[in-house]
């Protein structure tokens, strides 16, 4: 047993100035700044290499042949390591100890690790928002993020003829990545109508860098003759051993088909949801965002949560993109340095970061206003979902069972429905189906008015463990006595 493992097992805790959970753009930016000021910083990430989803490192063979698709990520990772940050990759943070402060993790060998710090920075990122439809379990049906991962990290295509569907600006760069690999993108089905001229869209003129990025995507799609069908959603996917066709419907009338397209892959996603399980487990206050229906941590401008020792940054604090994530990470680092009083942050640097954060958050608000709110979209899609659609794939729970259970409960409680049907109790812990289950519950038991004095639960509660953990890890965490008892 190594010294590090011995210190982290059977009750001993690794103590640091700052522990950062998540090695994406936000966590890396915060780590580099804090470590350069002399703080003892540990960054934990469950992946084998730092970078998160956006800066995910390409496979070595891919990098040698095709190069690094995002070299700025490699430079930021190198900066973090050069600053002396302790980088614990292959470490899954799955819970919080009884003291409410100590993080419980397991390394890539599934041994338990305990860590504690004066400041916790949660940069846990986000996961894709999906909504089920008949045929979504067919091979070849996936999310845009997975297709992007294959294209960028492995230089592998999800299929030869693909449709992208759902909503949000992320569909455009994914389509462009697939086109670069020679994929025939048969079309993009966007649930909203963000690309029609409007007075609201004129606000993008105030963000020239982002506007140039959008124009670049639009030009590439136009050259490839990719149609964009606005106000369109997926009705169903058909096929035997693999998806072979997709039937699309009008978003306003999701049961009425408008076209069927032959494909061998379908990528569907409705943006992203903040990963807030750990923040909620630490007792941080959250609010239910009306537009998305998501639980979003309540933070100040620096990312400090309702617990003074916890910061929530990056996409975990609200979806905003890579530039906003990095600005949030730096803002948290500046606040921590001010509280530590070790190194004075130059006024010019603090102002530059604060200005960038505010500008990027204004752009995020503008972007959100151009696309349909996920909660409103859910209110349209959930009632139209066929009764026999498999909603929770982990536990094989269909739409009709969820509706019947919710209608039969006293007030259509989401958690009661989860308990009775087991929807959301599988390995993904509701990350795949939680959005749809909430929508189905609300569709049969509409939310009470704002004046009734009660707050309705919109998301599944955070549970220990956040992710599945082997029983052997829990036994080892309990110590030698529990293992003797088993013997």
Encode pLDDT of 453-486 as tens digits: 344 547 888 888 888 888 888 888 876 655 555 4
pLDDT recorded at residue 5 = 41
The reply to whether the predicted model has a pTM over 0.75 is yes
pLDDT at 113 over 50: yes
The CATH number that applies at residue 427 is: 1.10.10
Of 163, 148, 137, the residue nearest 265 (C-alpha): 163
Q: Give yes or no: residues 281 and 312 share one domain.
A: yes
Q: Which helix (H) or strand (E) holds 435?
A: helix 434-444
Question: Of 216, 238, 269, which residue constitutes the final position of a domain?
Answer: 269
Q: Give yes or no: residues 123 and 64 share one domain.
A: yes
Q: Is residue 428 part of a domain?
A: yes
Q: How many domains does the chain have?
A: 3
Report which listed range, 72-81, 146-155, 418-427, is most confident.
72-81
Instruction: Quote the CA–CA distance of 65 and 452 in Å, as a whole number.
Output: 62
Least confident of 184-188, 354-358, 421-425, 448-452: 448-452
pLDDT recorded at residue 302 = 95
Return the SS3 of 159: coil
Q: Is residue 355 part of a domain?
A: yes
Dihedral sign, Cα of residue 280, residue 286, residue 288, residue 289: negative
Q: Give yes or no: residues 310 and 411 share one domain.
A: no
pLDDT at 4 over 60: no
pLDDT at 7 over 80: no
Q: Give yes or no: residues 404 and 360 share one domain.
A: no
Taking the CA of residue 231 as centre, how many other CA atoms within 13 Å lie in the half-sphere pointing to its CB?
7
Question: Of 341, 369, 397, which residue constitutes the final position of a domain?
Answer: 369
pLDDT at 2 over 80: no
Q: Give yes or no: residues 119 and 8 share one domain.
A: yes
pLDDT band at residue 274, thresholds of 50, 70 and 90?
A: very high
pLDDT recorded at residue 191 = 97
Q: Give yes or no: residues 277 and 253 share one domain.
A: no
pLDDT at 335 over 70: yes
Q: Give yes or no: residues 34 and 92 share one domain.
A: yes
Q: What's the whole-number average pLDDT of the chain?
A: 89
pLDDT at 109 over 60: yes
pLDDT band at residue 68, thresholds of 50, 70 and 90?
A: confident
* Cβ-contact 25, 74 below 8 angstroms: no
When pLDDT is averaged across residues 46-56 and rounded to a whole number, the result is 92
Question: Percent of the chain scored above 70 by pLDDT?
Answer: 92
pLDDT recorded at residue 344 = 82
pLDDT band at residue 324, thresholds of 50, 70 and 90?
A: very high
When pLDDT is averaged across residues 355-360 and rounded to a whole number, the result is 91
pLDDT band at residue 152, thresholds of 50, 70 and 90?
A: confident
pLDDT recorded at residue 212 = 85
Q: Is residue 465 part of a domain?
A: no
pLDDT recorded at residue 253 = 95
Q: Give yes or no: residues 339 and 223 share one domain.
A: no
Q: Give yes or no: residues 123 and 140 share one domain.
A: no
Give pLDDT tens digits for 306-321: 999 999 999 999 999 9
Q: Give yes or no: residues 323 and 388 share one domain.
A: no
Q: Give yes or no: residues 145 and 227 share one domain.
A: yes
Q: Give yes or no: residues 411 and 282 share one domain.
A: no
When pLDDT is averaged across residues 287-295 and rounded to a whole number, the result is 91
Give pLDDT tens digits for 360-411: 888 888 888 899 999 999 999 999 999 999 999 999 999 999 999 998 876 6
pLDDT recorded at residue 474 = 81
Distance (Å) of CA 321 to CA 315, 328, 338, 418: 7, 11, 26, 31
Give pLDDT tens digits for 401-419: 999 999 887 666 888 899 8
DSSP string, 56-105: PPPPHHHHHHH--S-HHHHHHHHHHHHTT-EEEET-EEEEE-TTSSPEEE
pLDDT recorded at residue 59 = 74
Domain carrying residue 31? 3-127+273-369
Of 231, 243, 53, 272, the residue nearest 163 (C-alpha): 243
pLDDT recorded at residue 6 = 41
Question: Percent of the chain scored above 90 by pLDDT?
Answer: 67
Instruction: Quote the CA–CA distance of 244 and 162 in Å, as a whole number.
Output: 10
């Amino acid at each position: 047993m190594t010294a590090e493992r011995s210190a982290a097992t059977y009750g001993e805790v690794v103590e640091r100035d700052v522990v950062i959970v998540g090695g994406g753009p936000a966590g890396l930016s915060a780590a580099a700044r804090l470590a350069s000021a002399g703080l003892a910083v540990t960054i934990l990430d469950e992946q084998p290499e730092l970078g998160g989803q956006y800066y995910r490192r390409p496979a070595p063979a891919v990098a040698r042949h095709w190069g690094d698709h995002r070299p700025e990520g490699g430079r930021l990772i190198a900066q973090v390591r050069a600053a002396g940050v302790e980088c614990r990759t292959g470490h899954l943070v799955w819970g919080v100890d009884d003291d409410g402060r100590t993080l419980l993790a397991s390394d890539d060998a599934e041994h338990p690790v305990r860590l504690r710090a004066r400041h916790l920075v949660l940069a846990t990122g986000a996961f894709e928002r999906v909504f089920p439809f008949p045929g979504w379990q067919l091979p070849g049906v996936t999310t845009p993020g997975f297709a992007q991962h294959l294209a960028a990290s492995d230089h592998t295509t999800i299929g030869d003829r693909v449709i992208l569907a759902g909503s949000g600006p992320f569909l455009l760069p994914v389509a462009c990545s697939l086109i670069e690999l020679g994929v025939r993108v048969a079309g993009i089905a966007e649930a909203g109508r963000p690309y029609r001229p409007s007075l609201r869209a004129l606000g993008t003129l105030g963000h020239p860098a982002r506007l140039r990025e959008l124009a670049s995507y639009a030009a590439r799609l136009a050259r490839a003759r990719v149609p964009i069908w606005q106000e369109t959603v997926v009705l169903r996917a058909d096929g035997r051993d693999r998806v072979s066709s997709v039937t699309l419907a009008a978003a306003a009338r999701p049961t009425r088909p408008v076209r069927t397209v032959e494909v061998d892959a379908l990528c569907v996603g409705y943006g992203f949801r903040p990963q807030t399980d750990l923040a909620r487990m630490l007792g941080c206050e959250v609010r239910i965002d009306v537009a998305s229906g998501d639980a979003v941590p309540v933070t100040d401008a620096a990312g400090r949560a309702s617990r003074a020792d916890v910061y929530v940054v990056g996409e975990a604090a609200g979806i905003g993109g890579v530039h906003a994530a990095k600005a949030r990470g730096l803002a948290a680092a500046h606040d921590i340095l001010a509280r530590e009083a070790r190194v004075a942050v130059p006024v010019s640097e603090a102002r530059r970061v604060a200005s960038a954060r505010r500008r990027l958050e204004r752009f995020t608000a503008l972007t959100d206003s151009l696309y349909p709110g996920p909660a409103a979209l859910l209110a349209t899609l959930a009632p139209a979902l066929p009764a026999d659609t498999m909603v929770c794939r982990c536990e094989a729970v269909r739409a009709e069972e969820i509706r019947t259970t919710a209608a039969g409960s006293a007030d259509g409680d989401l958690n009661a429905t989860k308990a009775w049907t087991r929807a959301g109790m599988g390995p993904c812990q509701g990350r795949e189906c939680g959005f749809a289950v909430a929508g189905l519950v609300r569709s049969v038991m509409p939310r009470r008015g704002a004046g009734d004095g009660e707050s309705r639960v919109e998301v599944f509660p955070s549970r220990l463990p956040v992710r599945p953990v082997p029983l052997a890890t829990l036994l080892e965490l309990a110590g030698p006595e529990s293992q003797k008892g088993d013997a």
